[in-house]
Amino acid sequence: MMGVTESTHEVEVRPARPDELGQVASLRWHWVHGQPYGGANLPSHDDYVAAAVAWARARADSHVAFIARSSDAAVGMAWLALLERVPAPDRMQRVNGDLQSCYVLREFRGRGIGNRLVAAVLQEAGRRGCEHVTVHASPLSVPMYERAGFEHSPELLWNVPDGA
């Protein structure tokens, strides 16, 4: 997976198949491993991938993985987390989405792959009837999300509970 070289092949963006969840998990491990705060206390790659695949399979109804593939390699990912909302008198079935863990390998950035992953997540959220989709973005990724239609909201507040 790592060390993917430049390719003239088209990058495909779509929901990940169950047999591709290991590749998605591997991207997440490498992403965190490459961060300044990551690496020191991480489980081994294989242990994390096995645990993350089991986690994803157990949550297939609430978390949808998307994969970006070039040739036979995973080069990007994103997740749609679905959260059921309290029913309203006029609508018993309500759901929100949260776009999570959107990541593209460094050597594939700048080609619109992140934009395509975001679009795929938003399309799936619409298909599933999400009332809205949120995203927790890094400062560098905010413009990409704004281009996709995300807006800053004075109604959305953030709190990190004690002990978190």
- Judged against a pLDDT cut of 60, whether residue 8 lies above it is answered with no
- Predicted pLDDT at 6: 42
Domain ranges of the chain: 11-147
List, for residues 94-143, the tens digit of each pLDDT value.
Answer: 999 999 999 999 999 999 999 999 999 999 999 999 999 999 999 999 99
d(CA 152, CA 145): 10
Q: What are phi and psi of 128, to 5 degrees?
A: -90, 5
- Predicted pLDDT at 49: 97
- Predicted pLDDT at 4: 42
Q: What are phi and psi of 149, to 5 degrees?
A: 105, 0
Nearest C-alpha neighbor of 23 from the set 103, 136, 121, 99? 103
Tokens of 119: 């679009």
List, for residues 41-51, the tens digit of each pLDDT value.
Answer: 788 999 999 99
Query: What integer is the mean pLDDT of 19-35?
Result: 93
The total of other beta-carbon atoms located within 10 Å of residue 53's CB is 19
Q: Which CATH number is 11-147 given? A: 3.40.630.30
